[in-house]
Amino acid sequence: MDNINALLRELPAVDRLLREPLLEELQLKFPRKVVLQAVQETIDSYRSRITSGSSDLSELPQAGELHPANLACEAAALAEKKAGLNLKPLINATGIIIHTNLGRAPLSKQAVEALTGVAANYNNLELSLETGKRGSRQEHLESLICEISGAEAAVVLNNNAAAVFIALNALAGGLEVVVSRGQLVEIGGSFRIPEIMAASGAKLVEVGTTNKTYLRDYEAVVNDNTAAFLKVHSSNYHMVGFTAGVETAGLAELARKHNLLLIEDLGSGVFLDLEKYGLPHEPRVQDSISAGADLVTFSGDKMLGGPQCGIIVGREDLVARIRKNQLARALRVDKFTIAALEATMRLYLDEEKAITEIPVWRMLAADPALLEMRAKVLATRFSEIVGFENVSILEGISKVGGGALPTAELPTYLVALKPVNHGAEEIVKKLRLNDPPVILRLQHDMLLFDPRTVFEDQEDILVQALEMAYRD
């Protein structure tokens, strides 16, 4: 007990700690309040360690640990953490290219430049430089999107969920919309076709069965209240076995025959031929337009590789009705999105540029031989930290992610680490708490690093992070 009282007396006071040079300096850099909070929390945590030490002696701080300089050091680290941003860049070593938890698509340098230029300056968001009169924010994008997709008109909204929602509300509110039972999907936990439809005011009419739907199923339910057929791309799941669906062209023809609309929710926003890069077939936006879909919707931050947004392309008269809808203002995009999307879309004017400059496509099309070379270099550097015998290179699989191409397997080379002196979970946590955080895969107690999603200029930082994680 005497021991405990002595330790408590030794614990420096808040004022004393704040006078430590390290913390005085920090008060010039960060708000005093943040530093004060960090100091109080540091002292509190030592105090509770000391008092709980009455039941567990191993918990008690050792002599010297309570020295003001030591506590100041800990408080400073805590203050740095508190003053830092919560949302920050990190290193994705998972090999999942479009990871919704990790912010989906990283932007190209062209998009980042466009974005920062517009962010830091005034800009012509809604000013026509030609006439000097008020312009539309959508004008910066429309002709470019039309040129690439082959559509008559385009409008950009907050995300694809918003795009589907507003299209249904504007064109089919109070009317019936026919959807195949095989396409009543849920994407990302909160986007569910039946719920979105109910919220939009359109009435869902289900046709067909889970695995098979035919054109005649659609035709059988058409009546005076039918407004549209909705075709939804089953982005995040794949049916195998005996299945039958209806092609866009056939459905478009049936829609025209009955004077109805065909709306297609493509999800991913692919403009390039994936098969050319050894990936499974994925319908492209321009194919749906040329097959006769009246409207096509897709995300900006999935396979398109741009900022979060939802894009609607298609018939001019329909896009005009969507623009006039009350919700268009509530769901509209901001100047940052427009800047980043325009710069991204411009890269699609030249496929070669799109593949090399848009990070999502660069990662998708990465040459396995190059990935193997990068894995070998990383493995050599890792082995200097954890010992040669604990590092190996495995053939593995990267994933597209983001609810796109769920069955696509991209062959890759993984650097695998056997954890030494530390549990695997502990290393994973230390890497996650690193600055910048490193996110990786843990499988059968092995730490797996996939070079496909690690940018080349992040490799040094990755090695440093591992060094830190193994340090103590």
Ligand X SMILES: *Cc1c(COP(=O)(O)O)cnc(C)c1O
Query: Binder to ligand X among 235, 288, 337, 398 (CB under 6 A)?
Result: 235
Segment contacting ligand X by CB under 6 A, of 83-91, 107-115, 230-238, 414-422:
230-238
Q: Closest approach of Cβ 302 to ligand X, in Å?
A: 6
Stretch that binds ligand X, among 33-41, 105-113, 159-167, 425-433 (CB under 6 A): 159-167
The neighbour count for residue 211, using CB atoms within 10 Å, is 14
CB of 337 to ligand X, least distance (A): 12
Nearer to ligand X by C-beta: 42 or 158? 158
3-state helix, strand, coil in the chain (%, to 5): 50, 15, 35
Mark residues 358-377: x for contact with ligand X by CB under 6 A, - for none. Answer: --------------------
240: number of Cβ within 10 Å: 7
Binding test (CB under 6 A) with ligand X, winner from 107, 161, 319, 340: 161
Which residue has the closest beta carbon to ligand X? 267
x/- track of binding to ligand X for residues 237-276 (CB under 6 A): ----------------------------x-x---------
Amino acid letter at 78? L
- Find the shortest distance in angstroms from Cβ 268 to ligand X: 6
Please choose, out of 112-120, 183-191, 341-349, 386-394, the segment that lies near ligand X by the rule CB under 6 A.
Answer: 183-191
Residue 307, C-beta contacts closer than 8 angstroms, at least 6 positions apart? 105, 107, 111, 115, 300, 301, 336, 337, 340, 341, 344
Closer by beta carbon to ligand X, 205 or else 405: 405
CA–CA dist 200, 162 (Å, integer): 10
CB of 404 to ligand X, least distance (A): 7
> Least distance in Å: CB of 183 to ligand X?
9
Q: Widest CA span of the chain, in angstroms?
A: 93
- Binding of ligand X by 191 (CB under 6 A): yes
DSSP 294-321: SEEEEESSSTT-SSS-EEEEE-HHHHHH
Under rule CB under 6 A, residue 183 binds ligand X: no
- Which of 94, 159, 248, 434 contacts ligand X by CB under 6 A? 159
Instruction: Give yes or no for residue 232 binding ligand X (CB under 6 A).
Output: yes
Stretch that binds ligand X, among 90-98, 149-157, 187-195, 219-227 (CB under 6 A): 187-195
231 makes contact with ligand X (CB under 6 A) = no
Identify whether the C-beta of residue 396 lies closer than 8 Å to the C-beta of residue 95.
yes
Residue 103, phi then psi, degrees to nearest 5: 85, 15
- 452 counts as binding ligand X under rule CB under 6 A: no
Q: Give whichever of 182 and 403 is closer to ligand X, judged by the CB atom.
A: 403
Residue 310 makes contact with ligand X by CB under 6 A:
yes
The residue whose two tokens read 């050894």 is 278
Q: Which stretch binds ligand X (CB under 6 A): 89-97, 156-164, 313-321, 458-466?
A: 156-164
Sign of the torsion formed by the C-alpha atoms of 216, 218, 220 and 226: negative
What contacts 468, CB < 8 A, 6 or more positions away? 430, 434
Cβ-based nearer residue to ligand X, 274 or 386: 274
Note whether 307 binds ligand X by CB under 6 A: no
Burial 440-468 (b: 16+ CB within 10 A, else e): bbeeeebbbbbbbbbeeebbebbbebbee
Nearer to ligand X, 232 or 318 (CB): 232
Rounded to an integer, what distance in angstroms lies between the CA atom of residue 395 and that of residue 399?
14
H helices present in 63-122, as ranges = 68-83, 109-120
What does the block give as tokens for 443? 């499988």
- Give, for 431, the enclosing helix (H) or strand (E): helix 424-432
119 forms beta bridges with none
Instruction: Choose, by CB under 6 A, the member of 299, 398, 434, 453 that binds ligand X.
Output: 299
Query: Which residue type does 415 have?
Result: V
Phi and psi at residue 130, to the nearest 5° = -65, -50
Q: Which is nearer to ligand X, 12 or 403 (CB)?
A: 403
User: From the CB of 125, what's the least distance to ligand X, in Å?
Assistant: 22
92 to 121, contacts with ligand X by CB under 6 A? none
- Interface with ligand X, residue 233, by CB under 6 A: yes
Q: What is the DSSP letter of 106?
A: P
Q: Judged by CB under 6 A, which stretch of 47-55, 186-194, 212-220, 363-371 contacts ligand X?
A: 186-194
Question: What is the nearest approach in angstroms of ligand X to the Cβ of residue 158?
Answer: 8
Task: List residues binding ligand X (CB under 6 A).
Answer: 159-161, 187-188, 191, 232-233, 235, 265, 267, 299, 310, 403
